[in-house]
Amino acid sequence: MVKSSGQNRDKATEQRILDAAHTVFIRSGTSGARTQQIAEEAGVNKALLHYYFRSKDQLARAVFRRAAAELFPAVMQVLASDAQLEEKVRRVVDIELSQLLKHPYLPGYILSEINHDPERVLQFFEAAAGLRPEKIGARLLATIRSQIKAEVEAGKMLPIAAEDFIVNLLSLCIFPFAARTMFSALLGQDEKQFRRFIEHRRNDLPDFFMRGIRP
């Protein structure tokens, strides 16, 4: 035999299943999704799901981890870097919006999952950074706080709590996607108009945000 150790499944099949699960879980949520649906979507027998992933729950976790890892790290890296604050704002907006344009359903899916299963919030941060949330947060807050302090003392910025800085920035980027269906219905946007809407926010959002904290 060729196998070097215990697990050596067919990676292509595993990937196909994971992709199918991704599609179905995002559409219906973990509790609304049916393993049969996933199997069909993957063009595979239902039992194979359990061969590769032990259970629906494990499969759901794998999908959730992948989703979390897809969104969070890039932004967090920028925020925790030593770039200037204004530069951070511009880069976060740019990265986040282009990332989300590629995966518009992820925010809704992730929020929904976290909402219905408290454990998901830990899985989220672990998948995204391999650390407990408090660790990430503490580090992040310390960095941003000291940068704000410096800028404020230099008279280049109004005082703002680091928490607000982070929450405001992420809210403005992510919520339009999380509430996408609602906004699009309200504002009469179709798919294409929504994309254009977001594209133009990539220009306007940083200025809007920066004006909010400049003296």
Task: Please report, as ranges, the residues that interact with DNA according to CB under 7 A.
Answer: 1-3, 8-10, 13, 33-36, 44-48, 50-51, 54-57
HSE at residue 99, side-chain half, CA atoms within 13 A, is 19
Q: Are 120 and 113 in contact (CB under 8 A)?
A: yes
The option from a copy of itself, DNA, none interacting with 190 (CB < 5 to 8 A, set by class) reads none
Select the residue interacting with a copy of itself from 3, 188, 191, 192 (CB under 8 A). Answer: 188
In the complex, least distance from residue 5 CB atom to a copy of itself, rounded to whole angstroms = 35
E strand spans, 22-81 = none
**Would you count residue 29 as binding a copy of itself (CB under 8 A)?**
yes
How long is the chain?
215
Does residue 50 sit in helix, strand or coil? Answer: helix
Give CA–CA dist 76/159, Å, rounded: 22
Give CA–CA dist 70/26, Å, rounded: 14
Residue count, binding to a copy of itself (CB under 8 A): 59
Closest of 109, 133, 123 to residue 62, by C-alpha: 123
In the complex, least distance from residue 29 CB atom to DNA, rounded to whole angstroms = 11
The residue range among 8-16, 37-45, 51-59, 204-212 that interacts with a copy of itself, by the rule CB under 8 A, is 204-212
Closest of 181, 190, 179, 199 to residue 93, by C-alpha: 199
Q: How many CB atoms lie within 10 A of CB 160?
A: 15
Judged by CB under 8 A, the chain residues 102 through 131 that form the site for a copy of itself are: 105, 108-109, 111-112, 114-116, 118, 121-122, 124-125
**Would you count residue 39 as binding a copy of itself (CB under 8 A)?**
no
Give CA–CA dist 47/35, Å, rounded: 9
- The residue among 58 and 77 lying less far from DNA, judged by its C-beta, is 58
> Residues interacting with a copy of itself, by CB under 8 A?
27-32, 105, 108-109, 111-112, 114-116, 118, 121-122, 124-125, 133-134, 136-138, 140-141, 158, 160-161, 163-164, 166-168, 170-172, 174-176, 178-179, 181-183, 185-188, 197, 200-201, 204, 208-209, 211-214
